[in-house]
């Protein structure tokens, strides 16, 4: 099968009486922030054929036709007894509706919040559903006595994991996944997936670190030889290392000295997606997010999160011209709990009007709170550009909190070591990157040639830079080397603070490079580069890239160099 085929279904045995059906796309599919690496995805569905047949997590509407065709080639779907749902989202409804039409005998298995969402999403109050209320079991025969583990979090309050003691496979739904597409079913050479899995964790799991930690504690009681997630390769070879990486990520969130309470409700998933992007931006800046879905949170949980936070952000959809009741209740708790010194933020999505956003904004302003950003209003489904803006907004919000809390110590003379480090010279450059409709740029001076063959270089990028999401393995960029005597204007332009999502190239003479990124007309030279790898180094990422193309634009010019007196700042 050609890898150029945009979508297909790969079927592979993974255990006794167990197969995986991997609906694959080499293109980026959805607007969620965790897809931003644009390496495609797999939607993994599993089938266990005991005396009874259980089907796990049919994929979303992107794959409905090809998935059901592949399923019917291998099974008489009228013999399927159970469909186990790890989480419900509206995107999956199209596949479930068609499946129910051809197999009405199906009984769903889900958590109680999942059952509520299933009935609402499918528009059928009479669905046959087995509701998992605790660590219940379901005997399929042939030794497949499934055990269920509810593992809710604010983003997925209906999240449900399943363990099969016969095969020792732990079906982890959203946990331990990655958005990457390929022919590899298992994680042989698991180290190559670390960057993708870490990015996935930072986007989806870091804002819910407390709940994810609870989930890991529950799952530790089940001796698994394999994790079977909804997305990406199945985890068999790197299982111990990936579990350890999750725990380290959770610990990193717990040790941050500042937090933001992110409180929201979501009707169709759009507000939750915006919250996810904002949360990723906040955590990138080294601030913990306490994410709370107020539809499922107790009042005491909301109050405790707000009390310990340095700032709070509230998001809401607009339903019938109003904010949902859980949001209004949460807003009341915030107004009675949060001190007026806390920085606030408001966001939301809507179909035809956005009264809920205006309501929350007005209440907060009337109460005397200072907003850290202009309220974010998103009509219908957010696109890539909107998601980038939301992530940058989260980062700016976190940076404002850190700046406000910073205690100004007396300026001390640089130590001899700091002075020596400051004498390392770097070429002044502007890095420009673009992916789809998203573009960004930054001034850089920590740049160095790294290899002769192939010609390569390294760039250090701070973790909270807006450009950072565009500097992952496989991405492309242009390194614009600035010319001495002609660099001050470009320096001033790219050093100024940009609003989230603002066009960095307005009023700058430029053209498009062959790789689609931006060449600055006033640069001394430019290099078109491809990111090969990145390494975490303290508060920066070290990016290694190879040079694909380039040109000196001014043969008589000299490279602008950045002179520093201390190694403690740029």
pLDDT recorded at residue 267: 87
pLDDT recorded at residue 142: 97
Q: What is the spatial distance between Cα 460 and Cα 534, in angstroms, rounded to a whole number? A: 9
CB distance 209 to 288 below 8 Å: yes
Q: Which CATH superfamily is domain 416-562 in?
A: Electron Transport, Fmn-binding Protein; Chain A (2.30.110.10)
pLDDT recorded at residue 3: 45
Residue 27 DSSP SS3: coil
CB distance 177 to 37 below 8 Å: no
pLDDT recorded at residue 471: 96
Q: Which of 320, 265, 271 is nearest to 297 (CA)?
A: 265
- Show me where the domains of the chain are located: 7-252, 256-403, 416-562
CATH architecture of 7-252: 4-Layer Sandwich (3.60)
CB distance 274 to 378 below 8 Å: yes
pLDDT recorded at residue 2: 38
pLDDT recorded at residue 90: 83
Q: Please list the rounded mean pLDDT of every run of 10 residues in the chain (570 residues).
A: 68 98 84 84 97 96 94 95 94 92 96 94 92 92 97 95 98 97 95 94 95 97 97 97 96 94 93 96 95 95 96 96 95 96 96 93 96 95 92 96 69 76 85 94 95 94 94 95 93 93 93 96 96 94 96 93 86
CB distance 340 to 313 below 8 Å: no
**Would you list the DSSP string of 448-463?**
EEEETTTTEEEEEEET
Q: Which of 203, 402, 389, 207 is nearest to 285 (CA)?
A: 402
Q: What is the spatial distance between Cα 3 and Cα 79, in angstroms, rounded to a whole number? A: 33
Entry pTM = 0.90
Q: Say which CATH class 256-403 falls into.
A: alpha beta
CB distance 96 to 64 below 8 Å: no
């Amino acid at each position: 099968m050609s890898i150029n085929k945009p979508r297909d279904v790969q079927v592979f045995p993974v255990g006794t009486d167990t197969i995986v059906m991997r609906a694959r796309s080499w293109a980026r599919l959805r607007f969620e922030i965790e897809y931003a690496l644009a390496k495609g995805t797999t939607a993994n569905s599993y089938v266990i054929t005991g005396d009874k047949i259980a089907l796990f997590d049919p994929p979303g509407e992107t794959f409905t036709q090809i998935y059901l065709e592949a399923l019917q080639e291998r099974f008489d779907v009228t013999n399927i007894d159970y469909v186990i749902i790890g989480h419900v989202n509206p995107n999956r409804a199209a596949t479930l509706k068609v499946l129910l039409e051809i197999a009405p005998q199906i009984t769903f298995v889900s958590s109680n919040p999942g059952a509520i969402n299933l009935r609402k999403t499918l528009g059928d109050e009479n669905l046959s559903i087995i509701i998992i209320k605790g660590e219940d079991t379901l005997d399929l025969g042939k030794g497949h006595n499934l055990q269920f583990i509810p593992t809710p979090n604010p983003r997925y309050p209906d999240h449900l994991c399943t363990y099969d003691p016969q095969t020792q496979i732990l079906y982890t739904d959203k946990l331990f996944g990655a958005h990457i597409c390929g022919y590899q079913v298992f994680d042989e050479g698991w180290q190559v997936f670390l960057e993708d899995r870490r990015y996935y964790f930072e986007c989806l799991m870091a804002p819910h670190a407390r709940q994810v930690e609870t989930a890991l504690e529950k799952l530790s009681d089940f001796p698994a030889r394999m994790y079977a997630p909804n997305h990406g390769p199945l985890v068999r070879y790197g299982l111990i290392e990936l579990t350890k990486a999750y725990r380290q990520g959770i610990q990193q969130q717990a040790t941050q000295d500042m937090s933001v309470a992110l409180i929201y409700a979501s009707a169709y998933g759009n507000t939750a997606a915006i919250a996810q992007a904002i949360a990723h931006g906040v955590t990138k800046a080294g601030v913990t997010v306490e994410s709370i879905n107020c539809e499922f949170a107790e009042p005491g949980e909301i109050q405790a999160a707000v009390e310990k936070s340095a700032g709070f952000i509230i998001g809401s959809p607009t339903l019938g011209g109003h904010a949902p009741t859980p949001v209004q209740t949460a807003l009341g708790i915030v107004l009675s709990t949060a001190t007026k010194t806390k920085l606030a933020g408001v966001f939301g999505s809507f179909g035809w009007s956005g009264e809920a956003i205006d309501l929350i904004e007005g209440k907060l302003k009337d109460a005397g709170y200072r907003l850290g950003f202009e309220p974010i209003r998103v009509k219908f489904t957010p696109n890539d550009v909107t998601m980038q803006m939301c992530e940058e907004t989260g980062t700016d919000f976190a940076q404002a909190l850190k700046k406000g809390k910073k205690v100004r110590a007396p300026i001390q003379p640089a130590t001899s070591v700091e002075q020596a480090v400051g004498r390392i010279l770097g070429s002044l450059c502007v890095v420009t990157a673009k992916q789809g409709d998203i573009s960004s740029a930054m001034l850089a001076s920590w740049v160095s040639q790294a290899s002769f063959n192939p010609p390569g270089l390294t760039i250090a990028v701070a973790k909270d830079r807006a450009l950072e999401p565009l500097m992952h393995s496989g991405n492309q960029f242009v390194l614009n080397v600035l010319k001495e005597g002609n660099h001050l204007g470009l320096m001033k332009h790219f050093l100024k603070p940009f609003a989230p999502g603002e066009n960095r190239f307005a009023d700058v003479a430029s053209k498009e490079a062959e790789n689609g990124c931006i060449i600055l007309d006033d640069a001394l030279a430019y290099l078109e580069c491809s990111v090969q790898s990145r390494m975490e180094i303290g508060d920066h990422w070290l990016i290694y890239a190879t040079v694909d193309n380039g040109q000196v634009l001014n043969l008589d010019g000299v490279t602008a160099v950045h002179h520093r007196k201390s190694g403690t700042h740029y």
